[in-house]
Chain A
Protein backbone atom coordinates (compact mmCIF):
# COMPACT_ATOMS: atom_id res chain seq x y z
CA UNK A 1 0.00 0.00 0.00
CA UNK A 2 1.17 3.53 -0.71
CA UNK A 3 1.51 5.78 2.31
CA UNK A 4 2.06 9.45 3.05
CA UNK A 5 4.96 9.56 5.48
CA UNK A 6 5.79 13.25 5.62
CA UNK A 7 4.71 16.73 4.63
CA UNK A 8 6.89 19.64 3.69
CA UNK A 9 5.81 23.27 3.73
CA UNK A 10 7.71 26.09 2.10
CA UNK A 11 7.36 29.46 0.40
CA UNK A 12 8.10 29.49 -3.34
CA UNK A 13 9.37 33.02 -4.06
CA UNK A 14 10.67 33.38 -7.66
CA UNK A 15 13.70 35.42 -6.53
CA UNK A 16 14.89 32.37 -4.55
CA UNK A 17 15.05 30.41 -7.81
CA UNK A 18 16.86 33.27 -9.49
CA UNK A 19 19.38 33.46 -6.62
CA UNK A 20 20.13 29.74 -7.02
CA UNK A 21 20.27 29.90 -10.82
CA UNK A 22 22.66 32.87 -10.74
CA UNK A 23 24.93 31.49 -8.00
CA UNK A 24 24.05 34.14 -5.40
CA UNK A 25 23.18 31.89 -2.48
CA UNK A 26 26.28 32.85 -0.48
CA UNK A 27 25.72 36.59 -0.80
CA UNK A 28 24.94 38.35 2.48
CA UNK A 29 21.34 38.97 1.50
CA UNK A 30 20.60 35.32 0.71
CA UNK A 31 22.91 33.40 3.03
CA UNK A 32 20.58 33.29 6.07
CA UNK A 33 17.71 32.06 3.91
CA UNK A 34 19.60 29.17 2.35
CA UNK A 35 21.11 28.25 5.73
CA UNK A 36 17.55 27.50 6.82
CA UNK A 37 17.30 24.77 4.18
CA UNK A 38 20.60 22.99 4.90
CA UNK A 39 18.86 20.57 7.26
CA UNK A 40 16.11 20.02 4.70
CA UNK A 41 18.44 19.03 1.87
CA UNK A 42 20.05 16.39 4.08
CA UNK A 43 16.62 15.25 5.29
CA UNK A 44 15.54 14.80 1.65
CA UNK A 45 18.55 12.55 1.04
CA UNK A 46 17.91 10.54 4.19
CA UNK A 47 14.16 10.27 3.57
CA UNK A 48 13.96 10.05 -0.19
CA UNK A 49 10.33 9.63 -1.25
CA UNK A 50 9.14 7.54 -4.19
CA UNK A 51 6.70 10.26 -5.21
CA UNK A 52 6.00 13.86 -4.18
CA UNK A 53 2.50 15.31 -4.42
CA UNK A 54 3.39 18.96 -4.81
CA UNK A 55 0.61 21.44 -4.04
CA UNK A 56 1.36 24.81 -5.60
CA UNK A 57 -0.30 27.59 -7.52
CA UNK A 58 0.23 28.50 -11.10
CA UNK A 59 1.11 32.21 -11.47
CA UNK A 60 -0.59 33.00 -14.78
CA UNK A 61 1.68 30.54 -16.55
CA UNK A 62 -0.11 27.33 -17.55
CA UNK A 63 -3.50 28.87 -16.84
CA UNK A 64 -4.31 32.25 -18.36
CA UNK A 65 -7.70 33.88 -17.90
CA UNK A 66 -9.06 31.46 -20.50
CA UNK A 67 -9.40 28.72 -17.90
CA UNK A 68 -9.19 29.01 -14.13
CA UNK A 69 -9.51 25.61 -12.46
CA UNK A 70 -9.89 25.74 -8.69
CA UNK A 71 -8.10 22.40 -8.21
CA UNK A 72 -6.07 20.74 -10.99
CA UNK A 73 -4.07 17.52 -10.82
CA UNK A 74 -1.29 16.77 -13.29
CA UNK A 75 -1.54 13.28 -14.78
CA UNK A 76 1.16 13.75 -17.43
CA UNK A 77 4.41 11.79 -17.76
CA UNK A 78 6.54 14.92 -17.87
CA UNK A 79 6.36 18.67 -17.23
CA UNK A 80 8.64 21.32 -18.71
CA UNK A 81 9.83 24.33 -16.66
CA UNK A 82 7.97 27.35 -18.03
CA UNK A 83 9.20 30.57 -19.60
CA UNK A 84 7.61 33.10 -17.24
CA UNK A 85 8.88 36.10 -19.15
CA UNK A 86 12.62 35.83 -18.53
CA UNK A 87 13.34 32.42 -20.10
CA UNK A 88 12.79 29.02 -18.45
CA UNK A 89 14.69 28.26 -15.23
CA UNK A 90 17.75 26.08 -15.98
CA UNK A 91 16.48 23.11 -13.98
CA UNK A 92 15.57 19.52 -14.93
CA UNK A 93 12.26 18.57 -16.44
CA UNK A 94 9.83 17.23 -13.88
CA UNK A 95 8.87 13.57 -14.28
CA UNK A 96 5.29 12.81 -13.36
CA UNK A 97 3.66 9.70 -11.94
CA UNK A 98 0.71 9.19 -14.28
CA UNK A 99 -0.51 5.98 -12.60
CA UNK A 100 -0.72 7.31 -9.07
CA UNK A 101 -2.00 10.68 -10.31
CA UNK A 102 -4.83 9.04 -12.25
CA UNK A 103 -5.63 6.88 -9.23
CA UNK A 104 -5.78 9.95 -6.97
CA UNK A 105 -7.97 11.81 -9.47
CA UNK A 106 -10.38 8.87 -9.64
CA UNK A 107 -10.60 8.46 -5.87
CA UNK A 108 -10.74 12.14 -4.95
CA UNK A 109 -13.44 12.93 -7.52
CA UNK A 110 -15.49 10.09 -6.06
CA UNK A 111 -15.01 11.75 -2.67
CA UNK A 112 -16.84 14.79 -4.10
CA UNK A 113 -13.92 17.03 -5.08
CA UNK A 114 -14.27 18.12 -8.69
CA UNK A 115 -10.66 18.08 -9.85
CA UNK A 116 -9.59 19.31 -13.26
CA UNK A 117 -7.34 16.74 -14.91
CA UNK A 118 -4.35 18.19 -16.72
CA UNK A 119 -2.38 16.16 -19.24
CA UNK A 120 -0.26 18.99 -20.57
CA UNK A 121 1.18 21.78 -18.45
CA UNK A 122 4.37 23.78 -18.10
CA UNK A 123 5.32 24.30 -14.48
CA UNK A 124 6.41 27.65 -13.07
CA UNK A 125 8.42 28.79 -10.04
CA UNK A 126 5.59 27.72 -7.74
CA UNK A 127 6.60 24.13 -8.37
CA UNK A 128 10.30 24.33 -9.26
CA UNK A 129 11.48 26.64 -6.45
CA UNK A 130 10.38 24.25 -3.66
CA UNK A 131 12.15 21.40 -5.50
CA UNK A 132 15.31 23.50 -5.77
CA UNK A 133 15.17 24.47 -2.09
CA UNK A 134 14.76 20.86 -0.95
CA UNK A 135 17.08 19.20 -3.48
CA UNK A 136 19.72 21.88 -4.13
CA UNK A 137 20.98 23.14 -7.48
CA UNK A 138 20.26 20.77 -10.37
CA UNK A 139 21.29 21.33 -13.98
CA UNK A 140 18.73 21.01 -16.76
CA UNK A 141 20.45 18.27 -18.76
CA UNK A 142 22.75 16.06 -16.70
CA UNK A 143 20.77 16.11 -13.47
CA UNK A 144 17.30 15.00 -12.51
CA UNK A 145 14.98 15.53 -9.54
CA UNK A 146 15.19 12.68 -7.02
CA UNK A 147 11.75 11.21 -7.76
CA UNK A 148 8.55 11.67 -9.78
CA UNK A 149 6.28 14.58 -8.86
CA UNK A 150 2.52 14.95 -9.12
CA UNK A 151 1.74 18.64 -9.61
CA UNK A 152 -1.42 19.72 -7.82
CA UNK A 153 -2.40 23.28 -8.75
CA UNK A 154 -4.76 25.46 -6.70
CA UNK A 155 -6.29 28.70 -7.91
CA UNK A 156 -5.15 31.48 -5.59
CA UNK A 157 -4.95 34.10 -8.35
CA UNK A 158 -8.59 35.03 -8.97
CA UNK A 159 -10.77 35.55 -5.91
CA UNK A 160 -12.54 33.68 -4.41
CA UNK A 161 -9.93 31.01 -3.86
CA UNK A 162 -11.00 27.79 -2.11
CA UNK A 163 -11.46 28.14 1.65
CA UNK A 164 -8.93 26.79 4.12
CA UNK A 165 -11.58 24.33 5.26
CA UNK A 166 -12.11 23.05 1.72
CA UNK A 167 -8.36 22.64 1.26
CA UNK A 168 -8.02 20.83 4.58
CA UNK A 169 -10.81 18.40 3.65
CA UNK A 170 -9.21 17.85 0.26
CA UNK A 171 -6.00 16.83 2.01
CA UNK A 172 -7.94 14.16 3.90
CA UNK A 173 -9.36 12.87 0.61
CA UNK A 174 -5.89 12.75 -0.97
CA UNK A 175 -4.58 10.67 1.94
CA UNK A 176 -7.45 8.23 1.54
CA UNK A 177 -6.74 8.03 -2.18
CA UNK A 178 -3.03 7.35 -1.65
CA UNK A 179 -3.74 4.65 0.94
CA UNK A 180 -5.95 2.80 -1.55
CA UNK A 181 -3.11 2.48 -4.08
CA UNK A 182 -1.77 -1.07 -4.07
CA UNK A 183 1.91 -0.50 -4.80
CA UNK A 184 4.17 0.12 -1.80
CA UNK A 185 5.18 3.73 -2.25
CA UNK A 186 6.64 6.25 0.14
CA UNK A 187 4.76 9.46 -0.66
CA UNK A 188 5.45 13.01 0.50
CA UNK A 189 2.95 15.81 0.20
CA UNK A 190 4.22 19.35 -0.01
CA UNK A 191 2.23 22.54 0.58
CA UNK A 192 3.83 25.66 -0.86
CA UNK A 193 3.37 29.43 -1.10
CA UNK A 194 3.04 32.15 1.54
CA UNK A 195 3.75 33.27 4.15
CA UNK A 196 2.79 36.93 4.60
CA UNK A 197 3.37 39.03 1.51
CA UNK A 198 1.65 41.60 -0.61
CA UNK A 199 2.91 42.36 -4.11
CA UNK A 200 0.60 45.20 -5.03
CA UNK A 201 -0.55 48.71 -4.33
CA UNK A 202 0.38 51.14 -1.58
CA UNK A 203 0.35 48.24 0.91
CA UNK A 204 3.02 46.28 -1.01
CA UNK A 205 5.70 44.85 1.25
CA UNK A 206 3.40 43.95 4.13
CA UNK A 207 4.92 41.37 6.47
CA UNK A 208 3.34 40.06 9.65
CA UNK A 209 5.81 37.99 11.59
CA UNK A 210 3.59 37.58 14.67
CA UNK A 211 0.55 36.48 12.68
CA UNK A 212 2.57 34.08 10.52
CA UNK A 213 4.08 32.35 13.51
CA UNK A 214 0.83 32.15 15.43
CA UNK A 215 -0.80 30.64 12.33
CA UNK A 216 2.06 28.16 12.00
CA UNK A 217 1.75 27.14 15.67
CA UNK A 218 -1.93 26.53 15.13
CA UNK A 219 -1.45 24.64 11.87
CA UNK A 220 0.91 22.24 13.64
CA UNK A 221 -0.98 21.75 16.90
CA UNK A 222 -4.63 22.31 16.00
CA UNK A 223 -4.96 22.10 12.23
CA UNK A 224 -8.75 21.82 12.28
CA UNK A 225 -8.96 25.19 14.04
CA UNK A 226 -6.38 26.66 11.68
CA UNK A 227 -8.45 25.49 8.70
CA UNK A 228 -11.34 27.62 9.97
CA UNK A 229 -9.35 30.85 9.42
CA UNK A 230 -11.54 32.95 7.09
CA UNK A 231 -10.16 34.37 3.82
CA UNK A 232 -10.41 37.96 5.01
CA UNK A 233 -8.02 37.27 7.90
CA UNK A 234 -5.30 36.16 5.48
CA UNK A 235 -5.78 39.22 3.28
CA UNK A 236 -5.97 41.70 6.14
CA UNK A 237 -3.21 40.22 8.30
CA UNK A 238 -0.87 38.47 5.85
CA UNK A 239 -1.33 40.56 2.69
CA UNK A 240 -3.24 39.98 -0.51
CA UNK A 241 -0.85 37.22 -1.61
CA UNK A 242 -0.65 35.69 1.89
CA UNK A 243 -3.82 33.85 0.93
CA UNK A 244 -1.52 31.26 -0.69
CA UNK A 245 -1.28 29.72 2.79
CA UNK A 246 -4.55 27.86 2.23
CA UNK A 247 -2.46 25.47 0.12
CA UNK A 248 -0.49 24.42 3.19
CA UNK A 249 -3.72 23.10 4.67
CA UNK A 250 -4.04 20.53 1.87
CA UNK A 251 -0.73 18.98 2.91
CA UNK A 252 -1.59 19.27 6.60
CA UNK A 253 -4.97 17.62 6.08
CA UNK A 254 -3.25 14.63 4.51
CA UNK A 255 -1.32 13.74 7.70
CA UNK A 256 -2.32 10.70 9.78
CA UNK A 257 -3.25 12.59 12.97
CA UNK A 258 -6.15 14.26 11.15
CA UNK A 259 -9.38 12.23 11.38
CA UNK A 260 -11.08 11.61 8.05
CA UNK A 261 -14.53 12.01 9.61
CA UNK A 262 -16.38 11.40 12.89
CA UNK A 263 -15.99 7.62 12.57
CA UNK A 264 -12.21 7.97 12.39
CA UNK A 265 -11.59 9.97 15.59
CA UNK A 266 -10.18 7.12 17.66
CA UNK A 267 -7.93 5.79 14.90
CA UNK A 268 -6.54 9.28 14.24
CA UNK A 269 -5.86 9.79 17.94
CA UNK A 270 -3.38 6.93 17.81
CA UNK A 271 -1.25 8.99 15.42
CA UNK A 272 0.85 12.03 15.98
CA UNK A 273 3.18 14.14 13.91
CA UNK A 274 6.75 15.22 14.69
CA UNK A 275 8.13 18.61 13.76
CA UNK A 276 11.47 17.74 12.19
CA UNK A 277 12.38 21.26 11.14
CA UNK A 278 10.94 24.76 11.38
CA UNK A 279 12.35 27.92 9.87
CA UNK A 280 11.17 31.48 9.33
CA UNK A 281 12.99 34.30 7.59
CA UNK A 282 12.25 37.85 6.41
CA UNK A 283 12.70 38.86 3.66
CA UNK A 284 13.09 37.02 0.39
CA UNK A 285 12.30 39.79 -2.03
CA UNK A 286 8.79 40.86 -0.88
CA UNK A 287 8.00 37.78 1.15
CA UNK A 288 8.20 36.21 4.60
CA UNK A 289 9.59 32.72 4.07
CA UNK A 290 8.19 29.95 6.22
CA UNK A 291 9.34 26.35 6.16
CA UNK A 292 8.31 23.25 8.05
CA UNK A 293 8.87 19.51 7.83
CA UNK A 294 6.41 17.18 9.55
CA UNK A 295 6.70 13.40 9.77
CA UNK A 296 3.95 10.95 10.59
CA UNK A 297 4.81 8.84 13.64
Chain B
Protein backbone atom coordinates (compact mmCIF):
# COMPACT_ATOMS: atom_id res chain seq x y z
CA UNK B 1 0.00 0.00 0.00
CA UNK B 2 1.32 3.44 -0.88
CA UNK B 3 2.43 5.87 1.80
CA UNK B 4 0.15 8.78 2.59
CA UNK B 5 1.73 12.00 1.31
CA UNK B 6 -0.93 14.67 1.78
CA UNK B 7 1.67 17.43 1.33
CA UNK B 8 1.94 16.83 -2.41
CA UNK B 9 -1.05 19.07 -3.21
CA UNK B 10 0.53 22.25 -1.84
CA UNK B 11 1.60 24.71 -4.56
CA UNK B 12 5.22 25.87 -4.90
CA UNK B 13 6.42 23.49 -2.21
CA UNK B 14 8.63 20.41 -2.24
CA UNK B 15 8.66 18.48 1.01
CA UNK B 16 12.03 16.89 1.68
CA UNK B 17 11.02 13.33 2.46
CA UNK B 18 12.94 10.06 2.25
CA UNK B 19 12.35 9.84 -1.50
CA UNK B 20 13.79 13.31 -2.15
CA UNK B 21 16.59 12.63 0.33
CA UNK B 22 17.66 9.53 -1.58
CA UNK B 23 17.74 11.44 -4.87
CA UNK B 24 19.70 14.28 -3.38
CA UNK B 25 22.18 12.45 -1.17
CA UNK B 26 25.38 13.50 -2.96
CA UNK B 27 24.10 16.94 -3.86
CA UNK B 28 23.41 17.59 -0.18
CA UNK B 29 26.66 16.00 0.99
CA UNK B 30 28.56 18.25 -1.43
CA UNK B 31 26.82 21.20 0.26
CA UNK B 32 28.00 19.96 3.67
CA UNK B 33 31.59 20.10 2.44
CA UNK B 34 31.22 23.88 2.13
CA UNK B 35 31.24 24.20 5.90
CA UNK B 36 35.04 24.17 5.69
CA UNK B 37 36.74 27.40 4.65
CA UNK B 38 39.35 25.64 2.50
CA UNK B 39 36.62 23.84 0.53
CA UNK B 40 34.75 27.09 -0.03
CA UNK B 41 37.92 28.58 -1.46
CA UNK B 42 38.49 25.64 -3.79
CA UNK B 43 34.84 25.61 -4.88
CA UNK B 44 34.82 29.31 -5.68
CA UNK B 45 38.11 29.05 -7.59
CA UNK B 46 36.73 26.39 -9.98
CA UNK B 47 33.13 25.33 -9.38
CA UNK B 48 33.04 22.83 -12.22
CA UNK B 49 36.20 21.03 -11.10
CA UNK B 50 35.04 20.91 -7.49
CA UNK B 51 31.61 19.56 -8.46
CA UNK B 52 33.18 16.90 -10.67
CA UNK B 53 34.76 15.41 -7.55
CA UNK B 54 31.26 14.47 -6.33
CA UNK B 55 29.19 11.61 -7.78
CA UNK B 56 26.25 13.87 -8.57
CA UNK B 57 24.13 13.94 -11.72
CA UNK B 58 25.04 16.45 -14.40
CA UNK B 59 21.66 18.14 -13.84
CA UNK B 60 22.48 18.59 -10.18
CA UNK B 61 25.89 20.10 -10.98
CA UNK B 62 24.31 22.49 -13.48
CA UNK B 63 21.66 23.59 -10.99
CA UNK B 64 24.44 24.45 -8.50
CA UNK B 65 26.41 26.43 -11.08
CA UNK B 66 23.25 28.27 -12.20
CA UNK B 67 22.21 28.79 -8.53
CA UNK B 68 18.80 27.52 -9.67
CA UNK B 69 17.53 26.54 -6.24
CA UNK B 70 14.09 25.41 -7.43
CA UNK B 71 15.75 22.98 -9.80
CA UNK B 72 18.18 21.85 -7.10
CA UNK B 73 15.24 21.11 -4.81
CA UNK B 74 13.43 19.14 -7.51
CA UNK B 75 16.61 17.09 -7.86
CA UNK B 76 16.65 16.21 -4.17
CA UNK B 77 18.33 19.23 -2.59
CA UNK B 78 17.21 20.42 0.80
CA UNK B 79 17.11 24.12 1.56
CA UNK B 80 19.23 23.89 4.72
CA UNK B 81 21.94 22.08 2.78
CA UNK B 82 21.64 24.35 -0.27
CA UNK B 83 21.99 27.32 2.07
CA UNK B 84 25.67 26.43 2.42
CA UNK B 85 26.15 27.27 -1.27
CA UNK B 86 24.39 30.57 -0.73
CA UNK B 87 26.56 31.32 2.29
CA UNK B 88 29.66 30.54 0.23
CA UNK B 89 28.54 33.15 -2.31
CA UNK B 90 27.68 35.61 0.48
CA UNK B 91 23.91 35.33 0.01
CA UNK B 92 21.47 35.61 2.91
CA UNK B 93 18.56 33.20 3.44
CA UNK B 94 16.26 35.98 2.32
CA UNK B 95 18.13 36.40 -0.95
CA UNK B 96 18.04 32.66 -1.53
CA UNK B 97 14.36 32.26 -0.69
CA UNK B 98 13.48 35.29 -2.80
CA UNK B 99 15.36 33.92 -5.80
CA UNK B 100 12.95 30.99 -5.92
CA UNK B 101 9.92 33.21 -6.49
CA UNK B 102 11.12 35.08 -9.55
CA UNK B 103 10.84 38.35 -7.64
CA UNK B 104 13.75 40.73 -7.42
CA UNK B 105 15.49 41.02 -4.09
CA UNK B 106 13.82 44.39 -3.48
CA UNK B 107 10.37 43.07 -4.36
CA UNK B 108 10.71 40.04 -2.11
CA UNK B 109 12.01 42.09 0.81
CA UNK B 110 9.12 44.53 0.38
CA UNK B 111 6.64 41.63 0.48
CA UNK B 112 8.17 40.39 3.75
CA UNK B 113 8.20 43.84 5.35
CA UNK B 114 4.53 44.28 4.49
CA UNK B 115 3.63 41.08 6.32
CA UNK B 116 4.73 38.27 4.02
CA UNK B 117 2.88 36.11 1.53
CA UNK B 118 -0.72 35.32 2.35
CA UNK B 119 -1.86 31.72 2.69
CA UNK B 120 -5.06 32.69 0.84
CA UNK B 121 -5.24 30.85 -2.46
CA UNK B 122 -1.96 29.10 -1.67
CA UNK B 123 -3.13 26.21 0.45
CA UNK B 124 -3.88 23.76 -2.34
CA UNK B 125 -2.94 23.34 -5.98
CA UNK B 126 -5.78 24.61 -8.15
CA UNK B 127 -6.56 27.76 -6.15
CA UNK B 128 -5.61 31.19 -7.44
CA UNK B 129 -2.96 32.48 -5.02
CA UNK B 130 0.32 34.07 -6.08
CA UNK B 131 2.32 30.84 -5.46
CA UNK B 132 0.28 28.82 -7.96
CA UNK B 133 2.05 27.52 -11.09
CA UNK B 134 -0.02 29.63 -13.49
CA UNK B 135 1.12 32.81 -11.77
CA UNK B 136 4.90 32.31 -12.09
CA UNK B 137 7.29 34.04 -12.20
CA UNK B 138 6.20 36.59 -9.63
CA UNK B 139 6.94 40.27 -9.42
CA UNK B 140 8.12 42.42 -12.29
CA UNK B 141 9.55 39.37 -14.08
CA UNK B 142 6.02 38.01 -14.51
CA UNK B 143 4.50 41.22 -15.84
CA UNK B 144 3.69 41.21 -19.54
CA UNK B 145 5.10 44.26 -21.32
Contacts and interface: CB of A to CB of B under 8 A. Distances in A.
Interface string A276-287: 000000110110
Contacts of B60: none
Contact of B113 (A66, A201, A202, A283): A283
B44 interface: no
Name the residue in B11, B18, B131 with the highest tally of chain A Cβ atoms < 10 Å from its Cβ: B131
A15 interface: yes
Interface residues of A, number: 46
Contacts of A158: 16-18, 21, 78
A59 B83 contact: yes
Contact of A288 (B12, B73, B116, B122): B116
A2 interface: no
Contacts, number: 167
Given A60-B80, A83-B36, A159 B17 contact: yes
A158 B77 CA distance: 11
Contacts of A200: 13-14, 69, 73, 79, 97, 100
B16 to A, nearest CB: 6
Contact of B115 (A66, A201, A202, A282): A282
A7 interface: no
Interface stretch (A43-51, A111-119, A207-215): A207-215
A36 interface: no
Given A85-B34, A158-B21, A286 B93 contact: yes
A198 to B, nearest CB: 7
Interface centre among B101, B113, B117 (most CB of A within 10 A): B117
Interface of A: 14-15, 18, 29, 59-61, 64-66, 82-87, 157-160, 196, 198-209, 211, 231-232, 235-237, 240-241, 282-283, 285-286, 288
